[in-house]
Structure 1
Amino acid sequence: MYTMKEVCRICGRETIIKKPPRFSPQDRYGRYRRCLKKLERGLIHGGDSD
């Protein structure tokens, strides 16, 4: 369940606030992170064509 509250109204546990990572034009590893996300989602295939 998505919530902006600090405590879950169903189970009463403390929630984790998700924040997007900061964007930086100098991000050296952004290209690799985006490629890994695509691999995990199955949008592209790995380079092992043996």
Structure 2
Amino acid sequence: MLLRYCNKCKEYTLQTICPRCGEKTINPHPPRFSPEDKYGVYRRKLKKQQKRGG
């Protein structure tokens, strides 16, 4: 079991559904670092688009 996080009520839990509000929880841990970052180009492109607002 891994720690999970609810964005709605800002609480940590071990369940996939938040026991307080019923929302789906997310994995709060960042992805592992890899020197051969296959998706880095896409992630940076998305970040740049979000920064521009589009």
- Relative to the length of structure 1, the TM-score reads 0.48
- If each structure's strand is expressed as a fraction of its own residues, which one has the higher value? 2
- Relative to the length of structure 2, the TM-score reads 0.46
Larger radius of gyration: 1
